[in-house]
């Protein structure tokens, strides 16, 4: 919404009407003469038909900073027109010729006295300006006219409306009212706050969300602003407010909140509600008279809190028109809080959706270490289409995936989740990388004609120290070697997922031990300030410079490397969300691998036991011989019973002992409870009881059954 200045508002550049130091309109007020009633609330402009006694002469106060006359207080600091200098719609200032002209005022509102005892501003000493001694305690409120109130409400509501989240809105209310409208404010909000049409359960509980007061040092004389006199016995405003209060049904506080309208605390209902809101005994610290307003905060559906506006005893009390100001402030604040809660819930849902689509933790496959990062495009838009994944595969391999769906909406996040699930399913079938991308392309076309995404799928084998990569329109990965050399891998770019009718090509490359593969999305290397290839070159140089810090024989720590990569982003480089996956290749040494082929014959289980016994003896793991022989015999027996091709047997020595048996039969074995009369069916039961972990994975050429044992 665009703000248009009105004809009666000419704000001073750089001054916020609600700022504490620029908002207080303080003009010297004369002390009332004996027998003259003390000044009450702010006089407002006269309305036609009203009559009032003849007004006392109005004495012009000289401005302490500019030395000009005809200005009341420090109106220019609030962005208001000085009296007599504004457009034709502003209130003219009193001049010497009209000082004896009767000025009509509303009934019951006395005029500012100008009798004996009045001290002109020029006669006030600097010591009196600093301490406030000698000044009249009945000081005028900052807003002297109806126009001032309108300008204050406009500036305050604009400040409240600038807030996006709950804390900003509550802070805007506090900063807008203190000290211009009140000396202190206490804001209570419902705990928990209801969201939208959600019906709250349980009792109504109010929690003190924020309280603001005028700091004592701001009462000193600064920039020509007269100080508020410091009372000899300070009030207990600083000790007001309890952290939590429960509103009992039918109580005085419940009745005041149900009434919705702001009320003075000197009314019977509000006076009875103060002990419940502030705590027993605290109500006596509230200034007497009409120096406190209790304003319920009502959202669209229900009361969501309350605000207590307070003025010190050395300041003139509120008047009935101030109830309208408090009502406006409470209404705008409550509606803003209501919208902030709704926005917070939507942001929470989007954030949870994004987080559930990404892996909560990365696996720890054998022979490779992993680290990842994800950064949203902005704090206010935490959803996007970038994702990463690491999927363990049979044979101690691991699939590394990174992708980017077009857009930054909830739809993009939902499509990303579907593609990630599809990729996990295809990885479980142990399909080649190019076949995985082909099926992802078909899935994207089924989701819609405009569902475009890029993806890079790589499979790392720690035994052969090789990696197979297929690309679908994604930026190429960067490989950081152990010596500190960083290279951009030459991978066929391919077409994005969703184009349809495109063949994908896979390449097989060396993955030496100690090297680090970095997969990323284009948000890391592309922005409005640089193209994608410039960003890739900067990334390569950043990796090489980071590797030089640790020396040629030690690769940089993986987590620290990810942080260093993200540090290359400048302030204007965050145009897109970023997904980052780093893999450190440790591999498995050939001396820790034993591999055999077994013919599918009856003698295969016995030969498998002898081969396993020799390997364990060579590795110094004779204490596992009995368990390994028993489990290998059972698994190989099940394999050769149905296999038509040679059966593979592989032992891997890492932090655990892993045994893998492969055959050409796609049916996976199932664990079942054998009956007492059954002659078989107990092999997997023994594996389940003795092994640390076990499982079976279907391959494109058959299946692999594996189990692991702890090394003693």
At 510, the pLDDT band (50, 70, 90 cuts) reads very high
Are 555 and 547 in contact, with CB atoms under 8 Å apart?
yes
Compute the distance between CA of residue 581 and CA of residue 668 in angstroms, rounded to an integer. Answer: 32
Model pLDDT, residue 197: 63
How would you class 689 by CB atoms within 10 Å of its CB: exposed for 0-12, middle for 13-18, buried for 19 or more? Answer: exposed
Beta bridge partners of 77: none
Model pLDDT, residue 166: 86
**DSSP letter, residue 94:** P
> Percent of the chain scored above 70 by pLDDT?
71
Model pLDDT, residue 62: 37
Q: Could you report the per-residue pLDDT of 270-305, keeping only the tens digit for each?
A: 888 888 888 776 666 677 788 889 999 988 777 888
Are 619 and 631 in contact, with CB atoms under 8 Å apart?
no
Q: Which two tokens stand for residue 696?
A: 């079976």
Are 452 and 498 in contact, with CB atoms under 8 Å apart?
yes
Q: Could you report the per-residue pLDDT of 106-125, keeping only the tens digit for each?
A: 343 333 333 334 444 444 44
Model pLDDT, residue 480: 95
Q: Could you report the per-residue pLDDT of 133-149, keeping only the tens digit for each?
A: 444 444 444 455 667 88
Compute the distance between CA of residue 214 and CA of residue 310 in angstroms, rounded to an integer. Answer: 11
Model pLDDT, residue 515: 94
Q: Could you report the per-residue pLDDT of 238-279, keeping only the tens digit for each?
A: 445 567 778 888 888 888 888 888 989 888 888 888 888 887
Model pLDDT, residue 147: 74
Q: Could you report the per-residue pLDDT of 217-249, keeping only the tens digit for each?
A: 444 333 333 333 333 344 444 445 567 778 888
- Angstrom distances, CA of residue 690 to CA of 655, 706, 710: 18, 13, 10
Q: Could you report the per-residue pLDDT of 347-394, keeping only the tens digit for each?
A: 777 777 777 888 888 998 888 999 999 887 765 556 678 899 999 988
| Dihedral of alpha carbons 42, 43, 47, 51, sign | positive
Residue identified by tokens 């009030």 is 235
Q: Does 27 have pLDDT greater than 70?
A: no
Average pLDDT estimate for 587-598: 92
Average pLDDT estimate for 425-440: 90
Q: Could you report the per-residue pLDDT of 175-219, keeping only the tens digit for each?
A: 888 888 888 888 998 888 777 666 666 678 888 888 777 654 444
**DSSP letter, residue 77:** G
56-70, 410-424, 687-701: least confident range: 56-70
CA–CA–CA angle 470, 472, 475 (5° rounding): 90
Q: Among residues 471, 488, 569, 479, which one has the least CA distance to residue 533?
A: 488
- Helices 320-357, 410-428: inter-axial angle, 10-degree rounding: 20
């Amino acid at each position: 919404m665009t703000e248009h200045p009105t004809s009666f508002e000419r704000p001073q550049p750089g001054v916020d009407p609600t700022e504490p130091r620029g908002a207080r309109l303080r003009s010297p007020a004369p002390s009332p003469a004996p027998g003259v009633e003390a000044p009450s609330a702010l006089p407002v402009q006269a309305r036609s038909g009203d009559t009032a006694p003849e007004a006392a002469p109005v004495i012009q106060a000289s401005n302490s900073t500019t030395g000009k006359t005809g200005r009341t207080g420090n109106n220019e600091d609030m962005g208001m027109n000085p009296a007599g200098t504004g457009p034709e719609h502003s209130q003219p200032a009193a001049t010497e010729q009209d000082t004896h002209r009767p000025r009509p005022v509303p009934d019951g509102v006395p005029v500012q006295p100008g009798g004996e005892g009045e001290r002109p501003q020029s006669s006030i000493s600097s010591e009196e300006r600093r301490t406030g001694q000698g000044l009249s305690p009945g000081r005028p409120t900052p807003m002297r006219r109806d126009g001032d109130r309108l300008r204050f409400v406009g500036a305050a509501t604009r400040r409240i409306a600038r807030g996006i989240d709950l804390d900003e809105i509550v802070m805007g209310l506090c900063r807008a009212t203190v000290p211009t409208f009140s000396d202190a404010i206490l804001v209570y909000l419902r705990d928990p706050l209801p969201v939208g049409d959600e019906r709250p359960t349980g009792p109504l509980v109010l929690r003190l969300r924020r309280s603001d007061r005028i700091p004592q040092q701001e009462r000193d004389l600064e920039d020509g602003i007269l100080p508020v006199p410091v009372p000899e016995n300070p009030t207990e405003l600083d000790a007001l407010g309890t952290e939590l209060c429960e509103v009992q049904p039918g109580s005085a506080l419940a009745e005041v909140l149900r009434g919705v309208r702001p009320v003075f605390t000197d009314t019977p209902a509000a006076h009875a509600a103060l002990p419940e809101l502030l705590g027993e005994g605290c109500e006596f610290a509230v200034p007497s008279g009409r120096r406190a307003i209790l304003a319920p905060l009502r959202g669209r559906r229900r009361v969501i809190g309350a605000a207590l506006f307070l003025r010190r005893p050395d300041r003139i009390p509120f008047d009935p028109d101030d109830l309208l100001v408090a009502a406006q402030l409470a209404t705008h604040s409550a509606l803003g809080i209501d919208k902030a809660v709704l926005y917070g819930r939507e942001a929470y849902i989007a954030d949870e959706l994004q987080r559930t689509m990404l892996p909560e933790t990365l696996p720890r496959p054998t022979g490779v270490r992993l680290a990842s990062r994800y950064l949203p495009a902005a704090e206010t838009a935490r959803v996007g289409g970038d994702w990463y994944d690491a999927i363990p595969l049979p044979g101690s391999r691991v699939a590394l995936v990174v992708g980017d769906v077009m857009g930054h909406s909830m739809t993009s996040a939902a499509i990303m989740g579907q593609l990630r699930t599809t990729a996990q399913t295809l990885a479980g079938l142990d399909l080649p990388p190019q076949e995985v991308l082909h099926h992802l392309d078909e899935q994207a076309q089924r989701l819609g004609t405009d569902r475009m995404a890029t993806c890079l799928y790589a499979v790392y084998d720690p035994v052969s120290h090789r990696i197979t990569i297929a690309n679908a329109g994604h930026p190429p990965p960067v490989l950081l070697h152990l010596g500190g050399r960083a290279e951009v891998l030459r991978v066929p770019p391919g077409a994005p997922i969703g184009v349809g009718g495109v063949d994908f090509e896979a390449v097989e490359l060396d993955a030496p031990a100690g090297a680090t593969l970095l997969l990323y999305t284009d948000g890391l290397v592309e922005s409005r300030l640089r193209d994608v290839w410039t960003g890739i070159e900067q990334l390569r140089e950043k990796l090489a410079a980071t590797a030089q810090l640790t020396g040629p024989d030690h690769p940089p720590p993986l987590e620290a490397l990810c942080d260093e990569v993200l540090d290359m982003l400048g302030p204007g480089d965050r145009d897109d969300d970023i997904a980052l996956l780093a893999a450190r290749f440790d591999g498995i040494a050939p001396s820790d691998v034993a591999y055999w082929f077994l013919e599918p014959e009856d003698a295969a289980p016995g030969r498998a036991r002898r081969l396993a016994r020799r390997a364990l003896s060579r590795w110094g793991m004779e204490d596992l011989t009995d368990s390994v022989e028993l489990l290998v015999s059972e698994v190989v027996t099940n394999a050769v019973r149905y296999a038509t091709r040679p059966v593979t047997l592989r032992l891997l020595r890492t932090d655990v002992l892993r045994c893998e048996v492969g055959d050409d039969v796609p049916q996976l074995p199932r664990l079942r409870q054998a009956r007492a009369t059954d002659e078989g069916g107990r092999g997997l039961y023994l594996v389940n009881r003795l092994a640390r972990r076990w499982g079976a994975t279907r391959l494109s050429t058959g299946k692999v059954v594996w189990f692991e044992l702890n090394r003693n």
